[in-house]
Structure 1
Amino acid sequence: MRYLVFLALANTLPISASADEISVQDGAWTSQLMDVTLSETCPAETTAIVLPQFEESIGQSSTREIEFGGDFDPNLLEEGNRPYGWTQTDDNTWEGTVLGDGDDREVGIATLTVESDTLISVVNEIDLAPMLNPSEDPNFTAMFPPGCSATMIMQISYES
């Protein structure tokens, strides 16, 4: 009998919250790189040189005050003048374009997901050739063949 009551109750509860139900907090939010991987397309030499440089940033964090004012706007998470051009793809997910340093070259795609009112995750898929070899130097072309990319996972969490 308890099992049937549990099933009836479980069917009335939402499995996951939608953006309308999540009201992200105003206050201090901390961004932290959690993980970086390089695609199998990257040559071993590239991985040996580039991956340790990315890994140095894992665990480092940055905190700043953000006022959402009750409505989530992913643009408020951006620091500096590098807009992602976020487009909402479902209730809690947005996609945006990652631009190169100092210019408007597209180097990747970011997927941002509002996990809860205190946690946001971001997955960046970065094409390493335009990011690390923007002038297409032939000496570096073999190091960054097409498809050689980095996946960076970030968490942005509410601190209070």
Structure 2
Amino acid sequence: MGAGACFPAELRDRHASAVEEYLPTPFVDPEAPFMDPSRALGPPDGRTLALGDGAYVVLRFFRPIPDAPGPDLRVYEVGPDGAQARLAASLDGVTFVELPRPIGGPTESVDLADLGLAEAAYLRIRGIDDAGEDPGYDLDAVEALH
């Protein structure tokens, strides 16, 4: 898709800054506000992208996220329903390595070492259920911690 957003440099460096690819949740009105993938860009703001079962978004960071000791990125999800998603990371946007466990909850910290990656510039987040009022995982934002 290649749609991007303009953010100040300090936010652009820390949060996902562009939507590279998006497959919407099937059988949901594509005009619904929670189906706009740009809602997953920038810092957490409570505006979410719903990722139902099989839907996914590929987000790009302005600069690669390096692996450092401890968690390297944080994923923000909004919603009380316990929806889960699968996260995969890539440096080149082509070859992705998937985290061996699902992510879920209001915030999820991820260490790139768990994926065997020294750095990543792209994240793919794929919904794996249809729980909740807005179907599936309600992605608010992704933040690089280093």
* TM-score normalised by L of structure 2: 0.35
Structure whose residues are more often helix by fraction: 1
Specify the structure having the higher radius of gyration (Cα): 1
Which TM-score applies when normalising by structure 1? Answer: 0.32
